[in-house]
Structure 1
């Protein structure tokens, strides 16, 4: 129709990873691990980066955080954080709590260079502990906590920064199934409240299909993104969603092949959703 202008209503990406490549160097020998990894993350999105163990998922996350320097490529973070907030928070596989600091002081740790007022830091830390359901543990020492509680403190420490982007490196992988499922639900509830964008690394396809708005499969040697899957099923979801329900009828068998031998998976176009 003449005179009608099409407007792209898709939100602006909060994170752009462009042609990221990374090599490990040992004893003078360089091994290319990641090759040409590119993707965007949008406000409020939970994106799962999935692939076999050792494929380079955590390396990609560390490069995004500036903890590892890539050989080539760019990481563009367009978060425009408010005063008293960070661009991103990082949740590690190990919560890395300081044993000589009480729980609330551990949560305050990342705020010490961000907020001058001790009272503000304490209030922000207590709010974060409230979000993860551990406000009553504020005065405890780390040794008094269970593994699941320690991981929740690690999450609270990241959330206290009021990050625009949350980076999570297999944070629930060492937990028992019941605790892991509880924390997955807690993460989704926090995301719904805060609208924080999340990049979540996992090798567990059940976890990815339960949590993600979008999944990127990483595979090959060196690794690249070989498949993109958008999951439109609303939360709350049933657990163990079948891959055929999440995307298309042929995907389940392909995913099983991918995890059996991810190194032989061919790169596919990820510029559009599948």
Structure 2
């Protein structure tokens, strides 16, 4: 597979099936997708539409049944081509906050004298200054997810994959972390692929949103989100007519795509 510097992620004619024979279930596809560097792509759709399957294929945790997936022009390797943030923080409880972030730096080959400075800078970036010595169980759920994001950013790669990282949080904490992630992604310039059920979250975070159909998941809508990503207050953005119009368009597409009538036999 040839490298394309203008493509951070490429999904080409991909289908993915679980099981075999009469028990086989096609979860995804066919899907074609190209994501340019620096984009914030949000994948939205109803439960069971293949959102997480697509993310796992991009991460390299699974291989497609048919078609090809590449990250920066190469087959993805789990833990190497992308930082990962899951629904649960998955922090190591026997390590401090700084220890969790520092472990990622260690595996990335960052020299020990440099790690402390990098840990402090990463925790500052996600809004947790002076928290390196705290225990993870002393943190709120929102703070734990901030640590998980810092850990994902610790590895110097251009891709960040997030699988509904804020789904278990209360509404206020979720909004605050959305705002933080939006700012972090703008500052870092990393390509992000984010999975969610929430139409509002998709509009707020994404520079581009795709909606997947009912199983097998196919792209029902692929929409660029033309909203300012810097220089505007979150409440002002959420209250704008443009935001409301995008939310209505994407919401309608999600409801239409969720219908079982969209389920088709795999090609």
> Which range, TM-score by smaller chain?
0.7 to 0.9
Cα distance between partner residues in 2 of 1:220 and 1:207: 20
Q: Is the 8 A contact 2:97 2:134 kept in 1?
A: yes
User: Shift of the alpha carbon at 1:228?
Assistant: 0.8
Look up the match of 2:148.
Answer: 154
Moved more, 89-98 or 215-224: 215-224
Number of aligned residue pairs: 250
CA contact (8 A) 2:8 2:37 kept: yes
- 2:23 corresponds in structure 1 to 29
Cα deviation 1:141-195 (Å, max 9, x = unaligned): 1110000000000000001113201101001111111111111111111112111
Corresponding position of 1:246: 246
Tell me which residue corresponds to 2:51. Answer: 57
Aligned pair partner of 1:46 in 17, 40, 43: 40
What is the aligned partner in structure 1 of residue 260 from structure 2? Answer: 263
CA RMSD of superposed structures (Å): 2.6
Question: What is the match of residue 111 of structure 2?
Answer: 117
Alpha-carbon shift at residue 254 of structure 1 (Å) = 2.9
Shift of 1:27: 9.6
Question: Contact (CA 8 Å) 2:35, 2:41: kept in 1 or not?
Answer: yes
Question: Structure 2 matches for 1:99-138, cutoff 5 A?
Answer: 99-138=93-132
Residue 186 of structure 1 aligns to a residue in which SS? helix
Please list every run of 5 or more consecutive structure 1 residues that lacks an aligned counterpart in the other structure: 1-10, 268-274
When residues 253 and 218 of structure 1 are mapped into structure 2, their CA distance, relative to the original with a 3 A threshold, is closer
TM-score (norm 1): 0.83
Q: Report the Cα distance in structure 2 between the residues aligned to 1:117 and 1:217, rounded to whole angstroms.
A: 42
Q: Is the 8 A contact 2:13 2:30 kept in 1?
A: yes
Does the 8 A contact of 1:206 with 1:241 survive in 2?
Answer: no
Distance 2:102 2:21 in 1: 40
Alignment of 1:188 with 2:182, yes or no, is yes
Tell me, yes or no, if the aligned pair for 2:98 and 2:132 is still in contact at 8 Å: yes
Query: 181-190 or 123-132, which moves further after superposition?
Result: 123-132
User: How far did 1:135 drift?
Assistant: 2.5
Contact 1:226 1:265 in 2 (8 A): no
CA contact (8 A) 1:34 1:222 kept: yes
TM-superposed CA distance for 1:253, in Å, is: 7.0
Counterpart of 1:234 (choices 228, 239, 253) is 228
Unaligned segments of structure 2, at least 5 residues: none
Q: Secondary structure at the match of 1:140?
A: coil
Partner SS, residue 70 of structure 1: coil
